[in-house]
Chains A and B, each alone.
Chain A
Amino acid sequence: MASRELPQDAATKTAFLNDPVIRGRAYQTITAVLLIAFVWFIANNTIHNLASQNKTTGFDFFWHTSGFDIQYALIAYDRSSTYFTAFLVGVINTLLVSVIGIVFATLLGFLVGIMRLSHNWIISRIALVYVEALRNVPLLLQLVFWYFAVLKSLPAVKNSLSVFDEIFLNQRGLYVPRPVVGHDFAWVVAGIVIAIVGIFVLRRWARARLEATGRRFPVLWTAIGLLLVVPTIAWFVSGTSLTFETPVLKGFNFRGGLALPPELVALLLGLILYTATFISEIVRAGILSVNWGQTEAAQALGLKDGDRLRLVIIPQAMRVIVPPLTSQFLNLTKNSSLAVAIGFPDLVSVFMNTTLNQTGRALEVVFITMLVYLFLSLVTSAFMNWYNSRVALVER
């Protein structure tokens, strides 16, 4: 059979309009033109609307006096400060809530996730009821519940609930003792830092020795010893002091101590309890995802229960846990913006609500707020991606 000659040029040449490359370029050009037209339309309308409302634009408002009070600020702020200081107060408060929330939600989430896997019927049921009850109710509703229904119905200042007369809880918030450090306390802090660095060095050395000789070193007990001994030595050598200032009822309010406003308490309570339900489900799924054969193989190798968890189960579970855990951390950070509903001065409340209403610079304020959250998201996911690359499966 004679091989048929393929007319090379004719076969590869498609009609101009059917050429995928040409079509692709055409589609992209059309999209780009439509997008530019859309942006131009919006920009044009915005400029026109702003002009007709006699509104000025620009970021100069940052340096004007804000003139409003913020009831919870970690940096020096009063009503004569600038909007920029107010903005910083908001950012710091958002960060504060996010960091505390992430730490406690992770702890509670891991605890509840492990409780749900417990063989103990009553423990796993308690965890199940907690998870199912709280994760199906909107976070905003939980926040207003804690704030308006629970904390507002607490006793007045006079009849505060107290724990050993050290911690007080009333309508105006939570009062805890404040640590007061003496002179030269930096030495103790330095001692703690030295101990932590020492523990890391010790761990590396112990692991290297274990791999080289097979002999174990009791890292945990040495670490606890180091953490206790080194700062204590620093304490006595430097002759410093650490006392706790207890909140005391004077007149109509508590003086001294560390006061957490009810808004902060309600926000943290809501965020932690809500996010922990999701984290617990992630942890549960992660641990269940490790094949039962891995447990059997570890037992067959003669590993102790603790080693089996630490060396076999947890490393494999972490691979499944870390990516969704990252998005829960991001969710918590974003959800902290619901503070605006209960009046805690976070970024949205201070900047997107009060500042925007006072200055009327809608475009600038919305732009900056979104930029801050974008930045926070990128930083968190960059960190968690780094951590994930450490725990991820290393394949050939």
Chain B
Amino acid sequence: MPDTSPVFVRDEMVPASPAPASNSGVVGWMRKNLFATPADTVLTIIGAAFVLWIVPNLYNFLIGHAVWTGDDGDACRIQGVGACWTYVWHRMDFFIYGFFPPDARWAGQAGILNEILAQWRVNLVFAIGLILIVPLMIPSVPFKAFNALLFFVVFPIIVYVMLNGGMFGLSEVPTEQWGGLTVTLIIGLVGIVTSLPFGIVLALGRQSRLPVIRMLCVAYIELWRAVPLITVLFMASIMLPLFMPEGVNVDKLLRALVGVALFNSAYMAEVVRGGLQALPKGQYEAASALGLNYWKSMMFIILPQALKHVIPGIVNTFIALFKDTSLVSIIGIFDLLKTVQSANADANWAAPTQAMTGYIFAAMVFWIFCFSMSRYSIFMEQRLHTGHKR
């Protein structure tokens, strides 16, 4: 006979108890991410010591002991002060516009509005550029092709007309007087606008079945990729005048732009080639089967897919290009870095931290541009990736 005494049978679920305190919340997170093993604990202590050493020092230098006010370098010359931000603030005009002559109607008058109006030609260019590039970067805004045409073709012309002047009643400003962030952005823009089409043509040429064209493109790409940009810039600044017919004077800024364009189109070509090679052969065959000729199949079938594949690579090349614009300071063009360097020699502001503050400011400007570009590239990568996930 089986034992018939009532046994305990559970007929409802026990409510889940919370995870033990040592596995959840802050403590759990710390146990998992900071103190998982003895070795981890040692690493955490070393890392924390490093952070505790560097963060207060950085804070004191950049914010805590920094000098924010003052009309000359006196406050920055006190022993032990940090960054001299008032110096950057007072020379901001120079860092952004270089020697670009301010408009006499507003120049020298107090007030932020007058300062903006005094450089209205450059500021208007900045504003137009911003208005054109923001919708270009937001994927859901329509009229992309028209917008791109405006930004990449019309906008450079506007920049030239507005800055160079000499027409529409604007006084002429020679490129020697352009400077600062303006020039850095102009070189970056021209580099981007020229290197992409040239790069596409070179990449197509490298894939060509015609041996002469293929070899030319390979030689061009490999030559520029093998030499440093600074030698290209030296070459452009010294030899371009020699190459031109006598009497033709090539503008100094133009020489640098030619160097930057030659150099970066080779890099862009390699990025585009990656995209072309990633396309399956069937796409080329399908385009031929439709009866499209070479240029039509490239324009409508191959390039749209290939370029879409390599948008992150293209943006990375843009970032490298933008950072490389600082090299033109070596051949004597007043870009952002060069204006900072020459302002650092300003005796009015001479102070122990003057040079460091100037360079940190320039580094922050470059950092903001490059970091936003790289974030944008990651955003585009994720957006484009969805189509290929199975």
Contact = CB atoms under 8 A, between A and B. Distances in A.
B52 to A, nearest CB: 11
Contacts of A138: 323-326, 337, 366
Contacts of B211: 28
Nearest to B237: A362
A27 B125 CA distance: 41
Contacts of A48: 245-246
Interface string A321-336: 0000000001000110
B226 A377 contact: yes
Interface in B330-355: 330, 337, 341, 344, 352, 355
Given A119-B40, A138-B326, A348 B246 contact: no
A126 B234 CA distance: 39
Interface string B6-41: 000000000000000000000000001110100010
B231 interface: yes
A145 B216 CA distance: 40
Most interface-central of B40, B227, B238 (chain A CB within 10 A): B227
Interface stretch (B105-113, B299-307, B367-375): B367-375
A35 B217 CA distance: 12
Interface string B188-225: 00000000000000000000011111001000000101
Interface in A134-153: 136-142, 144-145, 148-150, 152-153
A152 B355 contact: yes
A117 to B, nearest CB: 13
A338 interface: yes
A46 B33 contact: no
Contact of A148 (B235, B324, B355, B371): B355
B287 interface: no
B368 to A, nearest CB: 9
Given A45-B242, A132-B371, A149-B356, A119 B33 contact: yes
Contact of A141 (B210, B326, B356): B326
A122 B40 CA distance: 10
Nearest to B359: A145
B257 to A, nearest CB: 18
Contacts of B370: 136-137
Contacts of B159: none
Contacts, number: 160
B145 interface: no
A61 to B, nearest CB: 16
B227 A153 contact: no
A366 B231 contact: yes
A366 B226 contact: no
Nearest to B355: A149
Nearest to B243: A42
30 contacts: A24-B209, A31-B216, A46-B239, A48-B245, A49-B246, A50-B242, A119-B40, A120-B43, A120-B44, A121-B34, A122-B34, A122-B43, A123-B44, A133-B367, A136-B323, A137-B323, A138-B323, A138-B337, A140-B330, A141-B337, A141-B359, A142-B363, A148-B341, A150-B356, A334-B228, A334-B229, A337-B230, A352-B231, A352-B234, A370-B226
Interface of A: 24, 27-28, 31-32, 35, 42, 45-46, 48-50, 52, 118-123, 126, 132-133, 136-142, 144-145, 148-150, 152-153, 330, 334-335, 337-338, 340-341, 348, 352-353, 356, 362-363, 366, 369-370, 373-374, 377-378
Given A153-B356, A352-B231, 10 more contacts: A28-B211, A28-B212, A31-B212, A120-B40, A132-B371, A137-B323, A138-B324, A141-B366, A152-B355, A341-B329
